[in-house]
């Protein structure tokens, strides 16, 4: 019965409103007091029932909610035969709740739009080679799927054949179509605007990028910020305090109506709803613009960040380095052998520098690689064709006791001065090859870093395992505050701890597995969405599609959310103080006016929070 009544709360609100209209029309137009009083009595009774049920449910879990205060106030007014106020208060309370719910639903529209974008079916290649439509849950990794013009990509995958343009707004927030052809990556929930492609499924279901977006945004909505937790604790004690205050006022003044009025005016509705609506609207805005904020608790710390630390490769740079310089320290057929050894070792690595070398060398003879030893922060040592081959940086060569003469050191210094990352190759303790690899700085990064400075970030730091010369060149070009090279993952973490010990609030931005410790350690860990799963899982903020330009939007957004929360708290507290002061120091304040102002304040904080849905960074 309780569930049935609460399910009909909107209809009850409508009936209550109609009865109020009939009551006042009968009084002022037809001078009929019987219909006037009867309408108010019925409106009071049916209106208080859902409120009383909610009050009862709250008391069962030992919570003195707003519904408890309103129920007591309405029953008191009814017993005092003040039917006009009891009917108006119940209607305003119910109507206010209806408007709150409707308005709050709009703040969740961005998340609702996301979930509605989720693909439901796919064209799957069957054993006979034909494509048949199946539920997306029936697609497994490795299945071949057909995507036609206007259709949603059902899973994360790789293009096998065909080409077309895909709208990736659900992933990146940008609606400009992206061209796709063979070997290109595509994402679930995106839309093929033209063309026809066949893809192989790489990730399905909740493991897709789109599935993770929905999961993270839903988790973020359910989490509570420090401010919300404080208000929950405050409300827990504040509401009973209002009840006690009204009782004390009744004991002193013997004025029951005054005591009941205090119950209505002291309701902390706007205070309870103000902070959550700011968080939900802000998180919704982030989701729409390709920024995932993993929970409300992230917002406050992120808004106070004064130092942002960046990994270099894949974060400040494109992460697609190319071989720019090469020097061999051997000749004849030995050169081909050395390059074959190098290609054999680097072919087993996923490191960006290794991929650049393999791409540069092209098709070459390869050998079996044995006894591989990955030296952390140095490179790789292995046995190839019976020879001990070391591939890595200068430190690794020194560990391997490789002789480096003056000419070689001059070449190393010259390569570094050009901003190259160095890869040296030794065979049986002799240096055979030196390669310089350069990465390109992401387009627009310099302008984005200037935006971060204007948003109040005082320190911009780059930490990299690359050589100091390369890191210094990047820092100089981008105008960074500090630059540190030759850093191992544990040294990056130690540096972040050092900054935190100085009282700085640090955010770390990275994309690789080796960035995960630093992302987890910083007050705010930020992962580039095209990075590794580990980095994304350990982060607090995800920039989808590795779009660096989302970072200034994300920081500007959390600052606006924090200000919005403070505004809502001030509005809520200010209205309560105004109403209570009006009770004691004015003659015009009563329950009906108080409830009207109370519900109005709730709508004001909700509408103020909803402004965040339209937020865009202005500079």
- Whether 606 shows a pLDDT value over 80: the answer reads yes
Position 126 scores a pLDDT of 92
The string of DSSP codes covering 519-581 is HHHSSEEEEETTS-HHHHHH-SEEEGGG-TTHHHHHHHHHHHHHHHHHHHHHHHHHHHHHHHH
Contact, 456 vs 507, CB < 8 A? Answer: no
d(CA 147, CA 167): 13
Position 597 scores a pLDDT of 84
Average pLDDT, the chain: 85
**What average pLDDT score do residues 337-361 get?**
87
- Whether 296 shows a pLDDT value over 80: the answer reads no
pLDDT digits (tens, 9 = 90+) for 180-221: 889 888 888 888 888 899 999 998 887 776 776 666 555 655
pLDDT digits (tens, 9 = 90+) for 454-484: 999 999 999 987 778 888 888 998 999 999 9
Confidence of residue 100 (pLDDT cuts 50, 70, 90): low
Of the two residues 157 and 233, the one the predictor is more confident about is 157
Nearest by Cα to 513 from 535, 495, 496, 492: 535
Confidence of residue 79 (pLDDT cuts 50, 70, 90): confident
Position 602 scores a pLDDT of 82
Which CATH class name applies to 291-312+444-546?
Answer: alpha beta
d(CA 619, CA 616): 9
Q: How much of the chain exceeds pLDDT 70, in percent?
A: 90
**What average pLDDT score do residues 538-542 get?**
80
User: What strands, in cross-sheet order, belong to the sheet with 291-293?
Assistant: 291-293, 541-543, 524-528, 506-510, 307-311, 459-463, 482-484
Nearest by Cα to 516 from 490, 552, 544, 553: 490
**Structural domain spans, the chain:** 2-108+219-278+561-614, 118-151+156-203, 291-312+444-546, 322-438
Confidence of residue 124 (pLDDT cuts 50, 70, 90): very high
Tokens 């009909």 -> residue: 8
Of the two residues 245 and 236, the one the predictor is more confident about is 245
CATH architecture of 118-151+156-203: Distorted Sandwich (2.70)
- Whether 68 shows a pLDDT value over 90: the answer reads no
pLDDT digits (tens, 9 = 90+) for 387-443: 999 999 998 999 999 999 999 999 999 988 887 889 999 999 999 999 998 888 888
- Whether 135 shows a pLDDT value over 80: the answer reads yes
CATH architecture of 322-438: 3-Layer(aba) Sandwich (3.40)
**What average pLDDT score do residues 130-142 get?**
92
Confidence of residue 513 (pLDDT cuts 50, 70, 90): low
Position 217 scores a pLDDT of 57
Position 213 scores a pLDDT of 63
Q: How much of the chain exceeds pLDDT 90, in percent?
A: 34
Kindly report the backbone phi and psi dihedral angles of residue 378, in degrees, each rounded to the nearest multiple of 5, phi listed first: -125, -55
Position 532 scores a pLDDT of 47
**3-state DSSP assignment of residue 354:** helix
Position 109 scores a pLDDT of 54
Catalytically active residues are 311
């Amino acid at each position: 019965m309780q569930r049935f009544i609460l399910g009909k709360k909107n209809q009850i609100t409508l009936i209550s409103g109609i009865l109020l209209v009939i009551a006042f029309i009968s009084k002022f137009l037809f001078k009929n007091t019987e219909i006037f009083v009867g309408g108010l009595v019925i409106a009071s009774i049916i209106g208080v029932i859902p409120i009383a049920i909610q009050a009862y449910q709250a008391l069962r879990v030992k919570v003195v909610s707003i519904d408890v205060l309103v129920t007591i106030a309405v029953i008191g007014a009814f017993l005092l035969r003040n039917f006009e106020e009891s009917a108006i208060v119940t209607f305003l309370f119910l109507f206010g709740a209806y408007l709150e719910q409707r308005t709050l639903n709009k703040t969740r529209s961005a998340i609702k739009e996301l979930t509605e974008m989720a693909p439901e079916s796919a064209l799957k290649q069957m054993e006979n080679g034909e494509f048949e439509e199946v539920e997306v849950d029936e697609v497994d990794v490795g299945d071949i799927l057909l995507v036609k013009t206007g259709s949603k990509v059902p899973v994360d995958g790789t293009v096998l054949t065909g080409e077309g343009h895909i709208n990736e707004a659900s992933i990146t927030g940008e609606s400009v179509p992206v061209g796709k052809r063979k070997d290109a990556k595509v994402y679930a929930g995106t839309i093929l605007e033209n063309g026809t492609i066949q893809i192989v499924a790489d990730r399905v279901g909740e493991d897709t990028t789109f599935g993770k977006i929905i999961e993270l945004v839903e988790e973020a909505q359910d989490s509570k910020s420090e401010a919300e937790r404080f208000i929950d604790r405050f409300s827990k004690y504040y509401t009973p305090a209002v009840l006690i205050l009204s009782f004390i006022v009744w004991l002193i003044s013997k004025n029951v109506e005054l005591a009941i009025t205090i119950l209505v005016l002291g309701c902390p509705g706007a205070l309870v709803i103000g902070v959550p609506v700011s968080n939900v609207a802000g998180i919704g805005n982030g989701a729409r613009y390709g920024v995932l904020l993993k929970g409300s608790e992230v917002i406050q710390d992120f808004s106070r960040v004064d130092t942002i630390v960046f990994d270099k490769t894949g974060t400040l740079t494109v992460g697609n380095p190319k071989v720019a310089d090469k020097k061999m320290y051997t000749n004849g057929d030995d050169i081909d052998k050395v390059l074959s050894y190098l290609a054999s070792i680097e072919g087993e690595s996923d490191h960006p520098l290794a991929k650049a070398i393999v791409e540069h060398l092209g098709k070459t003879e390869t050998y079996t690689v044995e006894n591989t030893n990955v030296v952390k922060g140095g490179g790789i040592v292995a046995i190839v064709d019976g020879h001990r081959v070391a591939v890595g940086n200068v430190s690794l060569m020194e560990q391997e006791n490789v002789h480096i003469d003056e000419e070689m050191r001059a070449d190393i210094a010259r390569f570094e001065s050009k901003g190259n990352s160095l890869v040296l190759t030794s065979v049986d303790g002799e240096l055979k090859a030196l390669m310089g690899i350069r990465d390109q700085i992401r387009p627009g990064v310099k302008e984005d870093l200037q935006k971060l400075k204007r948003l109040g970030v005082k320190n911009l730091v780059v930490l990299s395992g690359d050589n100091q010369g390369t890191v210094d060149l990047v820092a100089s070009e981008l105008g960074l505050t500090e630059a540190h090279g030759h850093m191992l993952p544990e040294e990056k973490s130690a540096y972040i701890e050092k900054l935190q010990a100085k009282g700085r609030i640090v955010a770390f931005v990275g994309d690789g597995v080796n960035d995960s410790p630093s992302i987890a350690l910083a007050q705010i860990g930020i992962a580039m969405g095209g990075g590794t799963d580990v980095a994304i899982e350990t982060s607090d903020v995800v920039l989808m599609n590795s779009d660096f330009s989302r970072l200034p939007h994300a920081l500007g957004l959390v600052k606006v959310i924090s200000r919005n929360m403070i505004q809502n708290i001030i509005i809520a507290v200010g209205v309560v103080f105004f109403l209570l002061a009006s009770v004691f120091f004015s003659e015009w304040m009563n329950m009906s006016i108080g409830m009207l102002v109370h519900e109005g304040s709730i709508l004001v904080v909700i509408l103020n929070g909803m402004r965040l849905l339209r937020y865009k960074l202005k500079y």
